[in-house]
Structure 1
Amino acid sequence: MNSEDGFGFLPQRGEMAARVRAHDWAAMPLGSPQSWPQSLRNAASLMLGSRFPIIIWWGDDFRLIYNDAYIPFLGTSKHPKALGQAGAQCWSEIWDDIGPMLEGVLRTGQATWSTDARYFFDRELPQEEVFVTFTYGPILADDGITVQGVFCPCTDTTEKIVSRRRLETLHRLGIRTLDMRSAKDAGEKVCAVLDENPYDVPFAIIYECQAPPDAGSADIAPPAFQLLCSTGMDTDLAADPAPWPLAQAVQSGQPANVDLAQLGLTLPGGPWPEPSRLARIVPVRWSGDGQASGVLVLGVSPRRPLDAEYCAFLDMVASHTGGVVAHAVAYEQEARRARALAEVDRAKTVFFSNVSHELRTPLTLILGPLDDALREHGGHLPPDQAQMVHRNALRLQKLVNALLDFARIEAGRMQASYEPTDLARATAELASVFRSAMEQAGLRLRVDCPPLQGPVYVDQDMYEKIVLNLLSNAFKFTLQGEIAVALHDAGPAVELSVSDTGSGIAPQHLPHLFQRFHRIPGKPARTHEGTGIGLALVQELVRLHGGTITVTSTEGEGSRFTVRLPKGSAHLPAEQVNPIASPSTPPPPGHGAGAPAARQLVDETRQWVPGESPTHAPHAPHGVPAGAEPQGPRPRIVCADDNADMRGYIGQLLRPLYEVEVAGDGRAALDCIRRQRPDLVIADVMMPVLDGFELLHALRSDEATRSIPVIMLSARAGQEAQVEGLRAGADDYLVKPFSARELLARVASLLQLERVREQAHAALRANERRLRAIIDQMPAGVGVSDMGGTMVLSNALMDRFVPRAIPSTLADRVQRWRGWDDKGRPIPPENWPGRRALRGEVVMPGLEMLHTDDEGREWWMRVSAAPLRDDGGQLVGTCSVIQDITELKRAEQHLREADRRKDEFLATLAHELRNPLAPISHGLQILKRTVHGDDSARRSQEMLERQVNHMVRMVDDLLEVSRITTGKVQLRKEVVDLNNVLQGVAAASHAVMESGGHQLRLELPAETLLLPADPVRLAQMVTNLLNNAAKYTDPGGHVVLAAWAEGAQAVISVRDDGIGIPAALLDRIFDMFMQVDRGGRRGQGGLGIGLTLVRSLVEMHGGSVQALSEGPGQGSELRLRLPLPAHAPADASAHAPADVPSLPGPAAGAQSGDAPAFGRILVVDDNTDAADTLSMLLGLLGAEVEIARDGHGALAMHDAFRPDVVLLDIGLPGMDGLEVARRIRARQGRDQVLLIALTGWGQEDDLRRSREAGMDHHLVKPVSFDTLERLLRSLRTSA
């Protein structure tokens, strides 16, 4: 086929190229290939020639054309009918996702892509999970603009994504964790991992095979299965293994796939709504025998085909599961072995501890008397001590024989000689040996041994050990009641029973009773002695006779041991049977081979009976004569040991020097100690009822017995045992065997230490009493706390505010106590003095805090605290002191109230003084401007003007001192040129100096002195010094104002040749109201506060003031010292103060008639004289003036007169001036009229209130009329 048929652009090879040629395109919207646009031809040629999966979506309905590599995407359900189909028809299951993307490319011409996007194809499954990476690129028409189709290369990444997901699951399964201690733990771990991948394992069940089958046996019953764990499904459903073919899987050993529908099961499909269709059953091996130990049932995803890769993954899950469970099972088995070994080791340790006790106690009782005899008695032993040594030697022999017998039995080397024996008579004889000991102990012994039918073959020594061990065991654990021994025929055997009414045996101990080294802790008994092998030896001896031994017991009621021995000799080794002996002629009681062993055992048990301690004549050891006793009261010692010989031996050693009381167990010793407090306690570690450590704990837990010194006796040697005893609270630890000299030395040493300790405690108690007396007498609350904040020592005042009887929580303390810092912010509890002291801080002099008591009353406290440290410098607690400062705070409040009232009084006084001064000053100004008289009239006017100015200065100084002392003055510092300031002050003071006839001379440095200062306050200080010099210098005197730099300070000096200052007054000259007496008369008046004001202001600048004088009549010098800046500015002019422009004064030579008109001025003042005189003065300036006497009149006049300026007094009757100003501003706005406050109130608060009310200026009476005139002229000019 050539190009003329329209398919020349297609490749010659390939399935899809052939299908495209064969397709009936004429019947489709695309039309015949001859009509295809060149862009589609090119795209189709490129696509069909590529081995990469590509699809072309063409036209508005996205018709499909695809290549060979794309066929797997479609599957057999879509291919080949998809060729030429509309996209929405072919890919209906995913069209909601890809349709909008294709339409977007067709509409915008912008390419798009997706990476590893998940879709669900209708392919091998109705909804098969598939991952695809693809891109959509536009196919443009020949115009290069119109989009006619979409070119889509794509690749299936399902295998990559699913494999990665499955590998992660296998990886997590392979991680071993130490917390898996059993197969159950491992199974739960596996299920937890599988639960994280429900896409591949919707559900999982692990069954454990209870009875794995034997592959070589055909008649074995099917194994039973038990649920180990499950995930992804209901647990109750998983617990039933019946629906699953588990046995077949175990028997075949191969995995199998099952159809869940055929099993009648509907199980979840993981994250998908449809259920799983299949499951895979895999046998799992985790034991070492190679057999299947369990079965793993794994669900198959309903959206993934179960192909070979899927099956391999599930099989690997099963393999990993087997490994995980095997690891846990191995750990569990190893743990069981370790526990078993630990139990054996523990029992062995207990055994050796007991054996050590059993060996060392008789060794002490043998070596001690022998050592004393060799040292002091020429090797001769007194008879009673010789008996004690002999008894304990026999005890050692019995113990060694028992150990050897047990060792021979375990090694199989025990040789027995079985002879026909009259067991009834032998048993009755052995039991009767115990009768006297039992009667002394208050027990009844019943023996029931009737004659037996037929001989019984026994080894007589072994049988004797069986009977004696059972009887001694019963005697040991029976404190009251009876012991019964019975022997009866039991058909082919005989039964020996030993029963008692003792303490009985707890059920949990019965299975272990005949184990080696087993002992029941805490069981009431006559003694703690024993090795723990007696019953184990009895059991082994019974087994050598072919018999059995059993025990029945009820705790608290008693026990019954039953030995069953077969009759005859057929069951015994023939070579060990001796049939020659006649059972009818047994040895007489007390003369048989076992009689010495029986008597020895009875003698030993007799010592367990209270009051059966051997009596010994007191032998004074180490040269102390018998009967010699120390002077004074003899110390009392309590000795506790369950061995009667040991009690007797220790008592014999100590009684020549001390009062000794002995006890057979810990409980009896505790009763003795509580009845009468001893000076020392000696206690064996191993005792019945209450052992040594329990006795020690009881003593240390009781305040009355806590300080009694205790010596522990023990058979356990070694440093660890000694450390254990000392840690438990013992004062000394003595290991058996010990010598008499060592025991006596340690007892004497401890008693001496106890005397020293008691003396120290007495001194400490005396010091505590003195300390208590001191703190109880203190007027403050004192308390000592530990590091936990618990009060351990306090006086009554501290307990009143921080009670010890009722521990308060932090929340309670926060509610009851509050504190604030200097800025009024609450202090958090962690920064309270006590908490800070716990961090090592010293909080002195303390923090003022407010405390609220139970009745709601408030108390002010000053709380201080300091840390307490031990000799090593470590913090051990805190000491807190609280002082009741409630009255002080009240006094401070009263002082503040008095100070406030003083300020109000001074302000009122100033106002009331200034008001009458205002009309006087105005009158003088009127006279000055209108009356031109002779010199005497002029001098009178000047005199009156000076006195008015003097009065104004006194009022101003009085208010200034008040404001400074209350902290209401704030400096406005700037860099000033000192020379300029001093020159200005000198010019301003010229008139004062001239009026007093004084000569003022300036001595200023040539260089510029720049310093940070408030220029107004600096001028005020120097002016006060000059006024003071003029005041105390006679007419014609000299005053010098000088300045210079001295180091880092600028010095300002005012010298005069006046009356001088007495030496006694030099340090007091700056005190309030202080004046120098001029020969019995005061100076030139004044309040004596000018220099006080100077000192306050100079200190606010960080400087100082000093008075110098050689005495009366020698003149004086006052020096100010102010700090200079560290680095003076290079350009002084840059830092010159920005002075307020001076208000222009009247032109030289100007007459009143020449003054410019000042417009309309409204004067508002309730003082008629002040208002009239001011009105007259303003009239002289050419102003049109109206007067109002109160607030309402002012408002009415304002409305009628329409003034340009309002001179407004503040202290008006009824409506004050501030309210008048506010109402005027509300009526006209701020730009209509100029409001000037003209008042006697001149404090900072007064100025602030004026500004807030809308005043433009605030002038204080009496106002210099020149100042008022300049202000009005400047305002008139600016207007």
Structure 2
Amino acid sequence: MSDKPPVGTWSDLFADGGEMGALMRATDWSRTRLGPVENWPGSLKTMLGVVLGSRFPMMIWWGPELLQLYNDAYRPILRHKHPASLAQPGAQCWAEVWDEAGPLVQSVREGHPATWMEDWQLFISSGDMAEETYFTSSYSAIPGDDGSVAGVLNTVQETTVKVQSERQIRMLHDLARRAADARSEREACQIAVDVLAANALDLPFVLVYGMDQSALSATLIAAHGWKEIDGQPVSARVPIDDQSAARDWPFAAIMRSGQELIVDDLRTRFGPMPSGRWNAPTEQAIVFPLYRTGHAAPSAFFVAGISPHRKLDERYRAFFLATADQVASAMVKARALEEEKQRAEALAEIDRAKTTFFSNVSHEFRTPLTLILGTVEDALARRQPLNGQELDVVQRNGIRLLRLVNSLLDFTRIEAGRLPLSFVPTDLSRLTSELASAFDSLVERADMRLIIGCPPLPEPVYVDQEQWEKIVLNLVSNAFKFTLKGEIEVSLHWHGTYAELRIRDTGVGIPAHELPHIFDRFHRVESSQGRSFEGSGLGLAMVQDLVNLHGGTVRAVSVEGEGTTFFVAVPAGTAHLPAERIVQAPVAATRSAKASAFVLDAAQWSPSTDRNDTSAIPASSHVIDSRPEQQPALAAGRILLADDNGDMREYLLRLLRPYWEVEAVGDGQAALESALNHPPDLILSDIMMPVMDGFALLRALRAQSSTSTIPVILLSARAGEEAILEGLDYGADDYLAKPFTAPELIARVRTHLTMAATRNALNAELVRANQELEAFSHSVAHDLRSPLSSINGFTQILLMQQGQTLDAEARELLEQVLLAAKGMRQTIDDLLTLAHIGRAELRRDPVDLSDLAQKAISVLQRLQPERQIRIKLTPGLTTRGDPGLLRTALDNLIGNAWKYSSKRAQPMIEFGATRANGEVAYYVRDNGAGFDMKYAHKLFAAFQRLHSEKEFPGTGIGLATVHRIVSRHGGRIWADATEGKGATFYFTLP
């Protein structure tokens, strides 16, 4: 009887195998390495039945060659390998991953336990690429009929979609989170690229291009993964045109379509591409347009490399789209924040400009108001009419007020577009010459030269004559204000299509960083060394607006310290002007009254003016009150007056000179030089002045010992509590806001002169008393030292000569006398040192504190060589101060630590530095007796002791001396201690 089963029995083996069963039924197994089915081992047939009947991906590797048998569920894992993979050896089928899979299979065949890999990354050949895939897989042994391992069962689940999706979602989440911190579009792009760079598996490279304002090109904003090719960087700027699209990114085509575009020919466009993380060059890229809200055209382009290990399927496309949308959203949010910040900054700048403007215009109004009101009040007080000179002052300042008001109204009308203009054909040369010549005598009196070169032009120029006057007069007066020597040139040039006015000066010039802002509203070049600090900050802004209304342009070139030239170009003809504003009838050019107002105003800026000579003014014109019997007694003294306005100087001189000696100067620098050369008894100073303002003058005065105590009264147009407190914080003794009354000014000057005289008398008395005290202290020290020396000397002689004959008690008493004499002498020396510290002139030299500390310790070690003490010194601690006084301070602090650590078995002293409240604090630390912190307030008072004389001898003056030295240096000293565990003394030296 044959052992072979019926043929039909083996055909049932593949009956439930689906498509794989059909394939296996149709296979002539005799032609395969497995041989005829009827010869297969029973264990293989049994396991194959299980595999084919399962819906879970399974494959059998059988025999030494690991021949493959698998079910329908396993087929997608094989990609294009199926059906050739059936009965194929595993090493041949999976050649691209066998270096990873083979050792695991062999391990199971050798009898080792089954394996388990979760989300195992494998690059499987799929068509023409090595596809990035992930599997959760297990290899387990299949026993043969004889019980040995005959094959390996591979159960597997592909997790590629899960792994890639989780990776991409994580990246998009990180991008949204981090991009929320971006404050500008550029920063948002850089953050986005940094986040995307962490996912090189999906994005081999990323580029973000921003559209230029011209819309003619795009500039690279951020990049990762492709910085250069063959040493050449990636395109930094890409033209938006079809000609360059074939050799660069096709941004023009994307702008037309408004859709993303796949770029397949990267190698053709750019040459060899970067290999990236897997050493496989990227051959494709996808480019997305990025839009801002409310804009039809893209504002940027997002370029992403397509992985060479992934197919660009719908899932991969959706990922690119989500990433591009996220980058666009980050840019939009960042731009919104940036615009909000810019709006806030613009509002803050407007607010600052407004505050500055009101401060300036307040000064401009209050100064003439002071002169007008003060002159009138003076006349009313003396019951007499205004004299000619006073009428001139009132008229000049009234005109100045009128001009200021008109300027403000004009500026407001310009801003609102309501300035009435009439453009008439004008002989511009004649008009300009007439206006400039109004400054001729003023410039000549200032020892300068005015050059006017305005030749006739070939045709009339259409201008509004009134506004042209403002343009010329503002620029010429501005040139005079900032030119202290040399010349001013006014010239007119014809350039065929336009006329150009040039106003050149040899003045102080404009700093390069200020030049872009000189035409801004309310902007003033604060550091300019001009004739005056006066001005509203509207002049040049108004010039620019008026020139623009003429269809022209204005610009300036300047070299600081050499001069400035303004160029005003006005087009010829009428095509650039509104037709309804043109008046064809020619109007003769004549000088208006405005020129006189500008010249009168500029005349106030000259410090050398005849109006300052008030010696001929009768004293009766300066009576403060109409009742002489109520006149207060005025303290004698010399006053230094600083103000850049000529009329204000004249007015103050008329008020003050009948009672005091007064010197008047035009700026803070001149006041400082005068005060240093000949210190006055009081300084009366304006705040807003050229060269050096009142605050800078105050700082300079307080920094010099010869002028530090001079009383200073500030005059300012800035009123209110905040302005007063600011002035007082700068060190002023008093603050007087304009406009002020004559009696108020006289009263304050009298009060401060009286107080200064009293203070000076007290200081002189104090100096005399200190000198007497110093002489007394030296005399007493000498008188005390002499008997102490005798006591000390005779006691030592007695001990040396008679010591052997005296009993122990007598010798001990004599030794106590010596010790007491020594202590008394130390007390006298310490008291003299303490007294000297307050009188000695403080030096500010470089001091090596570490070196001083080492010297103090060396002295103590020589005196007590038997003491073993651990020393910790931080080297290189330096400061600036008085070397002698700081040596005394460290001698006392280290001596203190040496003394109070004497009873420790292992004493320690440390000198170092730390930081306390933002400043360097030096410290001396010991592990000695310490003290109770509730007594810390007594530490630095003279003769205060926290330990008994018997326990730790001393004078009780050392720490008081240290405190005085540190205080004289402007520092502070404090201590921290624990009783029985040591103390740390800290001190600062600003």
1:113 matched residue in structure 2: 116
Equivalent in 213, 221, 236 of residue 228 of structure 1: 221
1:237 matched residue in structure 2: 233
In structure 2, the CA distance between the partners of 1:176 and 1:725, relative to structure 1 (3 Å rule), is farther
Q: How far 1:444 moved relative to its partner? A: 3.0
In the alignment, structure 1 residue 64 sits paired with structure 2 residue 60? no
Q: How far 1:807 moved relative to its partner? A: 1.9
Instruction: Please tell me the residue identity of whatever aligns with 1:292.
Output: P
2:151 matched residue in structure 1: 149
In structure 2, the CA distance between the partners of 1:649 and 1:296, relative to structure 1 (3 Å rule), is same
In the alignment, structure 1 residue 608 sits paired with structure 2 residue 605? yes
Deviations 1:821-872 (A, max 9, x none): 9995625459x99999999x996953469999xxxxxxxx999999999999
2:287 matched residue in structure 1: 281
In structure 2, the CA distance between the partners of 1:843 and 1:311, relative to structure 1 (3 Å rule), is same
Alignment of 1:1193-1232 (within 5 A): none
In the alignment, structure 1 residue 42 sits paired with structure 2 residue 96? no
1:668 matched residue in structure 2: 670
| SS across alignment from 1:88 | helix
C-alpha separation in 2, matches of 1:549 and 1:626:
63
Equivalent in 347, 353, 371 of residue 365 of structure 1: 371
In the alignment, structure 1 residue 17 sits paired with structure 2 residue 40? no
Equivalent in 113, 138, 142 of residue 141 of structure 2: 138
Deviations 1:9-42 (A, max 9, x none): 5443511222333333445565544444444333
> Mean alpha-carbon deviation: is it higher for 460-469 or for 321-330?
460-469
| SS across alignment from 2:650 | helix
In structure 2, the CA distance between the partners of 1:108 and 1:825, relative to structure 1 (3 Å rule), is farther
Instruction: Please tell me the residue identity of whatever aligns with 2:284.
Output: L
> Mean alpha-carbon deviation: is it higher for 866-875 or for 171-180?
866-875
Alignment of 1:200-599 (within 5 A): 200-210=202-212, 223-235=216-228, 236-239=232-235, 243-247=247-251, 248-252=253-257, 253-263=259-269, 265-286=271-292, 288-374=294-380, 376-378=381-383, 381=386, 384-416=389-421, 430-447=435-452, 461-485=466-490, 498-506=503-511, 509-510=514-515, 512-541=517-546, 551=556, 553-561=558-566, 583=588, 594-595=592-593, 597-599=594-596
C-alpha separation in 1, matches of 2:492 and 2:165:
79
In structure 2, the CA distance between the partners of 1:372 and 1:80, relative to structure 1 (3 Å rule), is same
Contact 2:869/2:908 (<8 A) preserved? no
The structure having more radius of gyration, on CA atoms, is 1
Contact 2:455/2:492 (<8 A) preserved? yes
C-alpha separation in 2, matches of 1:135 and 1:654:
107
Q: Which runs of 5+ in 2 are unaligned?
A: 239-243, 783-824, 878-887, 911-924, 946-951, 953-990
Q: How far 1:359 moved relative to its partner? A: 0.5
Instruction: Please tell me the residue identity of whatever aligns with 1:317.
Output: T
Contact 1:205/1:238 (<8 A) preserved? no
Alignment of 1:585-984 (within 5 A): 594-595=592-593, 597-612=594-609, 613-616=611-614, 617=617, 618=619, 619-622=622-625, 634-751=636-753, 754=756, 779=826, 807-808=847-848, 810=850, 813=853, 817=857, 826-828=870-872, 845-847=899-901
Deviations 1:409-455 (A, max 9, x none): 33343335677777666655555543333332222344556777777
> Mean alpha-carbon deviation: is it higher for 431-440 or for 732-741?
431-440
Instruction: Please tell me the residue identity of whatever aligns with 1:609.
Output: S
C-alpha separation in 1, matches of 2:579 and 2:313:
74
Deviations 1:501-552 (A, max 9, x none): 3334455555544443332232222111121223344455556666665655
Q: How far 1:610 moved relative to its partner? A: 2.1
Instruction: Please tell me the residue identity of whatever aligns with 1:229.
Output: A
| SS across alignment from 1:807 | strand
Q: How far 1:358 moved relative to its partner? A: 0.5
C-alpha separation in 2, matches of 1:187 and 1:874:
63
TM-score (norm 2): 0.73
In structure 2, the CA distance between the partners of 1:563 and 1:313, relative to structure 1 (3 Å rule), is closer
C-alpha separation in 2, matches of 1:826 and 1:532:
69
Deviations 1:924-943 (A, max 9, x none): xxxxxxxxxxxxxxxxxxxx
In structure 2, the CA distance between the partners of 1:823 and 1:727, relative to structure 1 (3 Å rule), is same
C-alpha separation in 1, matches of 2:421 and 2:529:
36
Deviations 1:101-151 (A, max 9, x none): 2333333362221111222222345532221112223334567x6433333
In structure 2, the CA distance between the partners of 1:272 and 1:465, relative to structure 1 (3 Å rule), is closer
Between the aligned residues of both structures, percent identity stands at 41
Contact 1:394/1:600 (<8 A) preserved? yes
Contact 1:203/1:233 (<8 A) preserved? yes
Contact 1:5/1:34 (<8 A) preserved? no
In structure 2, the CA distance between the partners of 1:637 and 1:110, relative to structure 1 (3 Å rule), is same
Equivalent in 94, 98, 103 of residue 95 of structure 1: 98
Q: How far 1:305 moved relative to its partner? A: 2.7
| SS across alignment from 2:84 | coil
Contact 1:641/1:663 (<8 A) preserved? yes
Q: Which runs of 5+ in 1 are unaligned?
A: 214-222, 785-790, 853-860, 882-887, 889-1279
> Mean alpha-carbon deviation: is it higher for 763-772 or for 150-159?
763-772
Deviations 1:613-659 (A, max 9, x none): 45553414246959999687x23322211112222223333334433
In structure 2, the CA distance between the partners of 1:296 and 1:815, relative to structure 1 (3 Å rule), is farther
TM-score (norm 1): 0.58
Alignment of 1:144-183 (within 5 A): 146-177=148-179, 180-183=182-185
| SS across alignment from 1:316 | helix
| SS across alignment from 1:75 | helix
In structure 2, the CA distance between the partners of 1:395 and 1:631, relative to structure 1 (3 Å rule), is closer
C-alpha separation in 2, matches of 1:201 and 1:561:
56
Contact 2:179/2:330 (<8 A) preserved? no
In structure 2, the CA distance between the partners of 1:829 and 1:155, relative to structure 1 (3 Å rule), is same
| SS across alignment from 1:175 | helix
C-alpha separation in 2, matches of 1:205 and 1:490:
49
Instruction: Please tell me the residue identity of whatever aligns with 2:485.
Output: Q
In structure 2, the CA distance between the partners of 1:14 and 1:694, relative to structure 1 (3 Å rule), is same
In structure 2, the CA distance between the partners of 1:97 and 1:377, relative to structure 1 (3 Å rule), is same
Higher RCO structure, 1 or 2 (CA under 8 Å, sep 6+)? 2
Q: How far 1:272 moved relative to its partner? A: 0.9
Contact 1:125/1:305 (<8 A) preserved? no
In structure 2, the CA distance between the partners of 1:810 and 1:146, relative to structure 1 (3 Å rule), is farther
C-alpha separation in 2, matches of 1:867 and 1:227:
69
Q: How far 1:299 moved relative to its partner? A: 1.9
| SS across alignment from 1:645 | helix
Contact 1:838/1:877 (<8 A) preserved? no
In structure 2, the CA distance between the partners of 1:806 and 1:624, relative to structure 1 (3 Å rule), is farther
| SS across alignment from 1:76 | helix
C-alpha separation in 1, matches of 2:145 and 2:170:
51
Contact 1:11/1:49 (<8 A) preserved? no
| SS across alignment from 1:704 | coil
- CA RMSD for the aligned pairs? 5.1
Q: How far 1:99 moved relative to its partner? A: 2.7
In structure 2, the CA distance between the partners of 1:578 and 1:871, relative to structure 1 (3 Å rule), is farther
Q: How far 1:665 moved relative to its partner? A: 0.9
C-alpha separation in 2, matches of 1:488 and 1:614:
41
C-alpha separation in 1, matches of 2:460 and 2:323:
70
| SS across alignment from 1:8 | helix
Q: How far 1:754 moved relative to its partner? A: 4.6
In structure 2, the CA distance between the partners of 1:132 and 1:879, relative to structure 1 (3 Å rule), is farther
